[in-house]
Each structure stands twice: as structure tokens, then as C-alpha cells.
Amino acid sequence: MDIQQDKTKILMVCLGNICRSPTAEVVFREKARAEGFDKYLYIDSAGTGSWHIGHPPDERATQTAIQRGYDMSALRGRQVTREDIEKYDYIFAMDRQNLHDLLALSNPEHREKISLFLHHGNTEQDEVPDPYYSGADGFELVLDLIEDASGKLLRTLSGKHQWA
């Protein structure tokens, strides 16, 4: 992992790193680029499970993303590590189970940087539902939730870090 130390490092995490977290990675990256904040950020994704290491994102997630102008073709699944938890500044879990798994993997001094991604959105929902066993509507909902939370999170971070 080649992380530029002068950038704010963000890690999106779901279970397998083939649906929700790669979607959050590309959406957040694109929103940051559109606002001119990408030069301040290093954005990545990972999964708590190891089933999809090296695999591309789920085809349904990829197709839904393409329809909204996001490209996930370069992404490959990987599993989150203790080193990730130490190196990243912010770690966003897509649901409570992944939040629990991340907290269990982390040392106490790193737990404050781990939170639920949707806590930064404009929804009463606090988890991004896993669309893996759903139809197209599930992938659309995931994108809706992630787009909303990404915009709000980007505004929060740009204010906190005073990005010009």
C-alpha cells in the first residue's frame, strides 16, 4: 500500500469488498475530484472477509455505478488489516457487523477513527444494506445512500481540515 503521508487517508469497509465499499470508494473519490479536494485525499476500500481478495467488484454494482457515471473497473477486493487501521485517518464501516469487526481488530487508541459511514448522511438509516442477495433496486439504494452520505461527509471533512 503506497499512501502519501501528506493526504487525509480514508478507508471504506464492507464484508467482501465487492459491493458497498468499492461503491463508496469510487463515489467519494469522484465527489472529492468534482470539488477539487482529491489532492488532499487518499481513498481506498477493503472488506472484513477474505472471500473476494483479488476479485473485481460485483458485476451488478459495477453496472449500477456505470449508469451513474462511476468507474470501478480498476478496483480489486482486499481484506482489511491491522496495519490499515493504524495508517488510515478515517475508517467507515457500511454496517454494524463490520463496525464491530473493525473495532475488534483495532487497538483502543485507533477506535475513535472508526464509525458507520451513514452517520454522515441525511438519512435515518445508519447502515448501508448489503445488496448481494437483492435485485437491481438494492444496488440503486446503495448508490443513493452512498451518494448522499459522501456529499455530507466531504463537506464535513473539508471544513474540519480547512481545505481551500
Catalytic residue ranges: 14, 20, 130
What is the side-by-side strand order in the sheet with 41-47? 41-47, 8-14, 90-93, 114-116
Query: How far is the C-alpha of 80 from the C-alpha of 109, rounded, in Å?
Result: 17
CB-count burial class (<10 Å; 0-12, 13-18, 19+) for 155? middle
| Cα distance between residue 28 and residue 105, in whole Å | 24
